[in-house]
Amino acid sequence: MRKTALITGASAGFGVEFARLFARHGNDVILTARRSDRLAELAASLEAEHDVNAHVIVADLAAHNGARALFDEVQERGLEVEYLVNNAGFGTFGPFVETDPEESMDLVRVNIAALTELTALLLPAMVERRSGRVLNVASAAAFQPGPLMATYYASKAYALHFSEALNAELEGTGVSVTALCPGPVMTEFQQVAGMETSGLVLHKRLISIEEVVAAGYEAMMRGKAYVIPGIGPRLLSFGVRFMPRRFVAKFVGRLQAKRAP
C-alpha cells in the first residue's frame, strides 16, 4: 500500500526537495504552504515524473487556527499520514528590541506552535497503527543561544528537545520523531531573514539542500533522535558544550554579525 507524507513549507527550499525525495521513493505527498501557485506547479511535476498523488492544501501556519485547519482538511479528504515533515519555519535577523513584535509572534506560531500542534494531532493515529515517522526541521542553532536571531535559535532548541523527548517516549511503538539540525544552507531563508551579509553565511561554502534533505530522510527512516549534517556544524555543536555559557552567546553574536560584502 502506498504511503503518504505531509510536508509543511513545501513551496521552497527543503520542502520542495523533501517532496521530490518522498515521491521518488513512491510515496504520495500532501504539499502545504501559503503560495498556491508554487504548490500547484510542484504537484503537477511530481505526478508526471513519479506517478504519485500530490495533494495541495494551502495553509497559513502563522494563523491562530492554521495547524488545526490543515489537519481538518487532511481528515476531510480521508488521507492517512504516515510521514509528517514539520519543515515550515522562518527567522528574523537583528536585535530583538528592534524586531516587530507581531513578526516575533508569527515566528513562534510557525516554528513552535504549529509544529507541536500538528505532531499532537497526527501522532495518536501513528501510535495506534504502530507505524509512522515525524521529522522536525530544527537547526544546528538549537545547540546554543543566538544573539541577533534570539527567537529563531530558541525556537530550534525547542524543536530539538521536543523531538528527542518524544523519540524516547515512543520507543517500542513503531513510531519515531527525529530532529534535523543543519548548519547554514543557501536557500530563500537568508533573504527572508535579511541575513545575506551575516558573517555566518557571507563568503562561506554552504552545504547543499540535497545533502541536508538526504541526511534527514535517512535519519528519519532509521528512527534516530536527531542528525546534524556536515562535519563543520557537528564540530561546532559539540564544541560549544565545553565553553562557558556566557562566552557562547558572545561568540555566536560576533560570528553572525553583519560584514561588508
| Position 187 confidence tier, pLDDT thresholds 50, 70, 90 | low
More confident residue, 67 or 254: 67
Question: From its phi and psi, is residue 53 left (phi > 0), alpha (psi between -120 and 50) or beta?
Answer: beta
* Per-residue pLDDT tens digits for 148-178: 999 999 999 999 999 999 999 999 999 999 9
Residue 179, pLDDT score: 98
> How buried is residue 241: exposed, middle or buried, by Cβ count under 10 Å (0-12/13-18/19+)?
exposed
Sign of CA dihedral 118, 59, 70, 56: negative
Residues composing the chain: 261
Residue 107, pLDDT score: 98
Residue 116 has pLDDT above 80, yes or no: yes
Tell me the β-bridge partners of 8: 32
More confident residue, 2 or 155: 155
Which amino acids are annotated catalytic? 152
Residue 203 has pLDDT above 50, yes or no: no
Residue 241 has pLDDT above 80, yes or no: no
CA angle 66, 228, 238 (to 5 degrees): 120
CA distance 111 to 209: 19
Write down the pTM of the prediction: 0.89
CA distance 62 to 84: 18
**Contact at 8 Å (CB) between 225 and 167?**
yes
Q: Which long-range contacts (CB under 8 A, 24 or more apart) does 209-214 make?
A: 209/13, 209/14, 209/17, 209/185, 210/17, 212/14, 212/180, 212/182, 212/185, 213/14, 213/17, 213/18, 213/21, 214/21
Residue 186, pLDDT score: 64
| Position 258 confidence tier, pLDDT thresholds 50, 70, 90 | low
* Per-residue pLDDT tens digits for 217-236: 999 999 999 999 987 777 77
Residue 240 has pLDDT above 70, yes or no: yes
- Chain center to CA of 163: 12
Residue 238, pLDDT score: 77
**CATH number corresponding to 4-256:** 3.40.50.720
Show the cell assigned to 67. Answer: 495547524
